[in-house]
Chains A and B, each alone.
Chain A
Amino acid sequence: MTLLFNYLIFPGLLFSAVIGLLAGWFDRKLSARVQFRVGPPWHQNFTDIIKLLGKETIYPAQSKFTFLFSPYLGFLSAGLVATILGMNLRSSASGFNGDLIVVIYLMLIPAIAMILGASASRNPLASVGASRELKLILAYELPFVLSIVALIIKCGGSIQLGKILELQALGASNIASWSGALAFIVCFFCMQAKLGYPPFDIAEADQELMCGTLIEYSGLPLAVFKLTKAVMLYILPVFLIILFMGKDTSLLFMVLKYIGLLFFIVLVKNTNPRVRIDQALGFFWKVPTFMAVASVILALVGQ
């Protein structure tokens, strides 16, 4: 029963979705302020979701099941990540050995679900979006995993989030070392791509692909996709905070760190134009991969 409560309400689906939607508002408001506009009220993202629930749902006749099922796949796995992260933050003993690996895999599933749904929609623009998303995954997954490997080496080979948190609570935050700082920068770039934010919003390119992967979605499934994005906006910064800045995990510091990270995400989003897919692939396989390898070597040396 408590397991179900943890998964569905706190710190799982409901809680993370609410925080994510508020973070999404923060993003929209800050973007508006950057452009000298006023921006929407705080409840705008909630209103959007409620409105989408009341709209008609249109699905392709040939692939109804895959099309309607894939949003839930992404949402449920993102909620699972939120639960694991939240439980680890509450008490570091509640994790299990290897939950870091599980979290890395689960965070990939929303992107896979997006590809699945886009391919099922039989729309040419959606399939272009799906192929771009797939290439983007290939691009950012390599430096992301490498930098986490560096972190695991630095924490003495522990693959449990709770252990990593404990180590940081006893010593210093991982970001305070050379290898940790390098790995953090790499992870920050990968997070931007995982969120699908500019400069890496190639799969959803509003202007050229008309929302790309989401083009055929309407009503409830679209709302679920939006919620998945909101949850991702919650779990990815929290994941980075746990891995790199886990020195003090009291509520106040968590909120401050989260807002700080969000601020940087939105600033990068607003100041960078979209890159092409080949540029993104080239970028991720050159600069961040090199930095991640350097950080692995530094971690092995003990820096």
Chain B
Amino acid sequence: MSLKIKALTKSIWVFHVSAGSCNNCDIEILDLFTPRFDVERFGIQLIGSVRHADAILITGAMNRKSVPRMKKIYEQAPKPCVVVAVGQCALSRHMFRDSYNVCEPLDKILPVDLYIPGCPPRPEAMIDGIVKLVTKIRKGK
């Protein structure tokens, strides 16, 4: 395991995008940074600019307005950068599947590295997902 990968997995800066969510997933994501879960212990930080991001956290069913913006945001992120889909909406469009302005599930638009199911997923589930992704990156790739 190279130093670069090790440093990357020990200091993940997260950029959080809401692509038309019902806001519940976003609240659960913010829970990760509260005293109860405190992911800053592992070097995970929420940052404001996508140029600093190592992971893009996407919540919500992608609609016609947010798809082009999503693509732009992904292109603006410096690589290596992973995409994490949080919540059933981002995974499969959930109950908005037949809505008139929802187009495709997230993984048809962007390369998704980690799926976290749930409506909304519990903070424990998200931490579990991140741990699995980190182990995968450290072992393989």
Enumerate chain A interface residues (CB-CB to B < 8 A): 28, 32, 35-41, 44, 47-48, 50-51, 54-58, 206-207, 209-211, 214-219, 222
Is A44's CB under 8 angstroms from B51's CB?
no
Q: Assess the A37–B38 pair: CB atoms within 8 A.
A: yes
Give B contacts to A, CB under 8 Å: 3-4, 7-8, 10-11, 35, 38, 40-43, 47-49, 51-52, 54, 76, 78-80
30 A-B pairs with C-beta separation under 8 A: A28-B40, A37-B41, A38-B38, A39-B40, A40-B40, A40-B43, A44-B10, A44-B11, A48-B7, A48-B43, A50-B3, A50-B7, A51-B4, A51-B7, A51-B54, A55-B54, A56-B79, A58-B76, A206-B48, A207-B48, A210-B48, A211-B48, A211-B52, A214-B49, A214-B52, A215-B48, A215-B51, A218-B52, A219-B78, A222-B51
9 residue pairs, one from A and one from B, having the closest CB atoms: A210-B48, A54-B4, A56-B78, A51-B7, A50-B7, A218-B78, A218-B51, A37-B38, A215-B49
**A264-B102 Cα distance, complex, nearest whole Å:** 51
Do A58 and B48 contact each other (CB < 8 Å), given the known contacts A40-B43, A47-B7? no
Q: Within the assembled complex, what's the spacing in Å between the Cα atoms of A57 and B42?
A: 24
Q: Which residue of A lies closest to B5 (CB)?
A: A54
Query: Hey, which chain B residues are within 8 Å of A216, CB to CB?
Result: 49, 51
Name the residue among A55, A214, A217 with the largest chain B CB count within 10 angstroms: A55
- Give complex CA distance A40, B38 in Å: 9
Q: Are A35 and B79 in contact (CB under 8 A)?
A: no
Q: How far is the CA of A28 from the CA of B78 in the complex (A)?
A: 25
* A36 vs B47: C-alpha distance when bound (angstroms): 21
Contact assessment for B52 and A38 in the assembled complex, using a CB-CB cutoff below 8 Å: no
Q: Are B48 and A51 in contact (CB under 8 A)?
A: no
- Shortest distance between the CB of B1 and any CB in chain A (Å): 13
**Given the complex, which residues of A lie within 8 Å of B80, measured CB to CB?**
55-56
- Are B40 and A37 neighbours in the complex by a CB distance under 8 Å? yes
Further 15 A-B residue pairs, CB within 8 A, beyond A50-B7, A51-B8, A210-B49:
A32-B38, A32-B40, A39-B41, A40-B41, A40-B42, A44-B10, A44-B43, A47-B43, A50-B3, A56-B78, A58-B51, A206-B47, A206-B48, A218-B52, A218-B78
A32 to B39, CA, bound (A): 11
Closest A residue to B46 by beta carbon equals: A206
Contact check, B41 vs A55: say whether CB atoms are below 8 A apart.
no
Collect the chain A residues with CB atoms within 8 Å of residue B42's CB.
40
Specify which chain B residues have a CB less than 8 angstroms from the CB of A39 in the assembled complex. Answer: 38, 40-41
Rounded to whole angstroms, the CA-CA distance of A246 and B7 in the bound complex is 39
Chain A residues near B8: list those with CB within 8 A.
51, 54
Nearest neighbor of B75 in chain A, beta-carbon distance: A58
Residue of B at shortest CB range from A45? Answer: B11
The 8 Å CB contact of B35, one of A37, A50, A214, A218, is A37
